[in-house]
Amino acid sequence: MFPKIIQTRCSRLTLVNLLACGVLSLFTATSHAENADLTLKSPNASSSVIRLNQVGYRTRANKVAIVLSQSTSEFEVVGAEGSEVVFRGKLSEPVVWEYSKESVQQADFSKLDSDGLYRLRVGKKLSSPFSISDAALDSVHEASIKSFYLNRASIELKTEYAGIFARKLGHPDTDVKVHGSAAGPLRETGSSISAPRGWYDAGDYGKYTVNSGISTYTMLLAFEHFSDEYKTLDLSIPESSNAIPDLLDEIKWNLDWLESMQDTDGGVYHKLTALNFSNLNTMPDQDVNQRWVIGKSVTAALDFAAVMAMASRVMSPYDAELDNVSQRYRKKAIRAYAWAKKHPDAIYKQPEDVSTGAYSDDEVSDEFAWAAAELFLLTKDKAYWNDYRQQELNLSAHLNWGNVSVLPLVSLVSFGEGLLGQNDYALVKKQLQSSADELLALHEGSAYNVAMNDGDFQWGSNSSALNNGLVLYQAYLSTMEEKYQTAALSTLDYVLGTNATGYSFVTGYGNLTPMHIHHRPSVADTLSIPVPGFLAGGPHTGRQDKCPYDGDLPATNYADIECSYSTNEIAINWNAPLVYILGAAVSQRD
Ligand code: 9MR
Ligand code: 9MR
């Protein structure tokens, strides 16, 4: 019999259900752990010895748990109630993971492919329950996308779509003032523009062009790579009944805003925020501070150009419904790129009267390469290709908002076959493959089965893991070699519980999951649970927020407290690769 597991009820969701499911899974799993007559009494005691994907494994997926070294060399998988043994295996040799200083062993139960609800047992220690089922990730996948809707600016979230997370409209952004740092001849300091919609960046209410760029691109890439899944996915958002796939509708909410960030000269505002962060305990509608467009930077222009070019390609099949949107995006992309070429030194500098996020980056060759590659793919104009080839890229730097070197390769390999000459295509493919091979080596050498290095344990470390997964997945798409898929999807297991903190980092999903994210609506609403589907930033030792922490190592320095914006905030550029990897996982076919 299929055990009582929430994923069965949540597998094919209406979105109202989804919101209930996000909440329910939080409590159902916890009560399993508490009620079962087992060695472990508290819901998180398992995390002290056995770490695994608390949300679940798809039936034929790779399944590896991490066990703190034990005196026995064997493990078992048992039914969730603790009785029958369904699988026996040997633990790997103990190895110390440098990032948590623990000696750990791997328990590989990939061969167990009968659906059910189970626990892992090592000696007398039992893990929290986990499911094996092809529907295991459906709910978290949909929630990871729905979280973008739940972080929309300029819209009331109605109960019909948002369930208990309904809230009033905040930040209409129809009267945004031009800051001195962003003024030009046609738009003077203090003049007003309208720039509504978009997603809030994170736990704050700012809208930042650079970070929006990589996030929107990643979502568009997910749509392109997993379109079979996304053409029919119903997210229960206000646009669900139109002719556009819901994921594209959601992305377009942000593109609508992004478009309006372009100045009349083609340059692009760096961000749209108040001068300072609002108090944490503030709902969107309560934050009525004046909002400003601030700065015009080369990175904003280039990221804007890259995303508008990509969006122009992806949206073009829907031009009839969307008022020829692809032509508009195309023109905007071309103009932003031309502005960037004229202003290569326009590095964003935070004005003295502003203290919101900076997203400043003075290494712009990667952004130039990315925008040039996207514009080449869109327009087929060789001038962009020549520009692309002039940039020197540091391909061993891992993907994040400030380093997008690998993105032009991802796009050129995915969409450039036939357009690039054979030799050029072979070259970009080889470069992408060698980035993936470096990550594969990290994965294979990792005691925790995750492709992460020192640099990845930074602000938003969970997204570093998933971005590495995204790059690994590109090698799978171009070679169809399973090892890349396995390594890519392991990053998902990592964020869903197979990590040294014992947390499943997606709100609402898992046995032990963040309850106190640094996210204004989650703090300020009257609910005791956070808004679901968000990925917490994750551990690293930066401690920029000066909050109290238990762990002090790269992989353990994490605290589920509101204070901790450096480890427990959420952000669109962290959720976007979560969506991508979940999209990859749910699209996995035999
Ligand atoms: O809430 C802000 C968060 O969204 C940012 O990521 C973070 C870093 O820029 O800053 C947070 O705001 C804090 C500010 O920097 C310092 N004073 C306390 C604020 C949190 O309430
Ligand atoms: O993700 C950003 C991280 O790389 C930076 O070190 C940090 C401080 O500048 O800012 C992070 O981004 C935050 C942004 O500045 C404001 N919105 C919330 C973002 C996530 O914490």
pLDDT digits (tens, 9 = 90+) for 316-349: 999 999 999 999 999 999 999 999 999 999 999 9
Tokens 């940039």 found at: 391
Alpha-carbon distance of 488 to 485, in angstroms, equals: 5
For the whole model, what pTM was predicted?
0.94
CA–centroid distance, 357 to ligand 2, in Å, is 6
Q: Which residue has the tokens 């762990």?
A: 551
Q: In a 3-state reduction of DSSP, which class is residue 90?
A: strand
Q: Is the pLDDT of residue 23 over 50?
A: no
494: helix, coil or strand? helix
Averaged over 189-205, what is the pLDDT?
A: 98
Q: Find the mean pLDDT for residues 193-209.
A: 99
- Residue closest by Cα to atom 13 of ligand 2: 357
Task: Supply the pLDDT for residue 71.
Answer: 86
Residue type present at position 511: N
Smallest CA-to-CA distance from 90 within 62, 67, 118, 60 is with 67
CB of 408 within 6 A of ligand 2: the answer is no
Instruction: Quote the percentage of the chain above a pLDDT of 90.
Output: 89
Nearest CA to ligand 1 atom 6: 565
Which is the closest atom of ligand 2 to the Cα of 402?
4
The Å distance, Cα 565 to ligand 1 centre, comes to 6
**Whether residue 560 lies in the annotated active site:** yes
Using CA atoms, how far residue 139 sits from 189, 355, 402, 481, in Å, is 47, 37, 31, 28
pLDDT band at 46 (very low <50, low <70, confident <90, very high): very low
Active site residue 32: no
Nearest to 573 by CA among 407, 365, 333, 445: 407
Q: Please, which pLDDT band fits residue 36 given cuts at 50, 70 and 90?
A: very low
Confidence of residue 11 (pLDDT cuts 50, 70, 90): very low
Q: Hey, what are 415's tokens?
A: 């969409």
Does the structure show a pLDDT above 90 at 12?
A: no
* 538 touches ligand 2 (CB under 6 Å): no
- Residue 236: what pLDDT? 98
Residues 179-196: tens digit of each pLDDT: 999 999 899 999 999 999
pLDDT at 9: 33
The single residue of 171, 179, 270, 518 carrying the catalytic annotation is 518
- Residue 82 has a pLDDT of 78
How is 526-569 classified by DSSP, letter by letter?
S-SSPPTTPBB----S--TT----S--STTT----STT-HHHHB
In the predicted model, is pLDDT for residue 412 greater than 70? yes
* 131-147: pLDDT as tens digits: 999 999 999 999 999 99
- Average pLDDT in the 285-301 region? 98
Mean pLDDT of 365-379: 98
Contact between 549 and 307 (Cβ < 8 Å): no
Q: What confidence tier does 589 reach under pLDDT thresholds 50, 70, 90?
A: confident
Annotated active-site residue 141? The verdict is no
Q: Which of 138, 303, 560, 562 is catalytic?
A: 560
Residues in contact with 323: Cβ distance below 8 Å, sequence separation at least 6, in sequence order = none
Whole-angstrom distance, CA of residue 582 vs CA of residue 143:
10
Tell me: pLDDT of 37 over 50: no
Active site residue 569: yes
b/e burial code for range 39-48 (CB count within 10 A of at least 16 → b): ebeebbbbbe
Q: What is the 3-state composition of the chain as percent helix, strand, coil, each rounded to the nearest 5?
A: 40, 15, 45
Query: Six-digit token pair at 346?
Result: 């326009």
Distance of alpha carbon 89 from alpha carbon 58, whole angstroms: 19
Question: Is the confidence at residue 61, as pLDDT, over 80?
Answer: yes
Domains along the chain with CATH numbers: 1-40 (no CATH), 47-133 (2.60.40.10), 138-408 (1.50.10.10)
As a whole number, mean pLDDT of residues 215-220 equals: 99
pLDDT score of 590: 66
Mean pLDDT in residue range 267-275: 98
Task: Choose one of 211, 535, 565 to mutate for the ligand 2 pocket test, by most ligand atoms within 8 angstroms of C-beta.
Answer: 211
- At 120, the pLDDT band (50, 70, 90 cuts) reads very high
pLDDT above 70: percentage of residues in the chain: 92
For ligand 1, atom 5, which residue shows the shortest CA distance? 565
pLDDT at residue 550 in the model: 84
Whether pLDDT at 359 is above 90: yes
pLDDT for position 88: 98
Is 58 a residue whose pLDDT tops 90?
A: yes
| pLDDT surpasses 90 at 299 | yes
433 pLDDT above the threshold of 90: yes
> 9 vs 525, which has greater pLDDT?
525
Query: What rounded mean pLDDT belongs to the chain?
Result: 92
pLDDT at residue 501 tops 60: yes
Q: Report the candidate in 524, 556, 508 with the shortest Cα–Cα distance to residue 142.
A: 508
From residue 198, how far is each of 13, 121, 172, 244, 261 by CA, in Å? 25, 46, 10, 18, 11
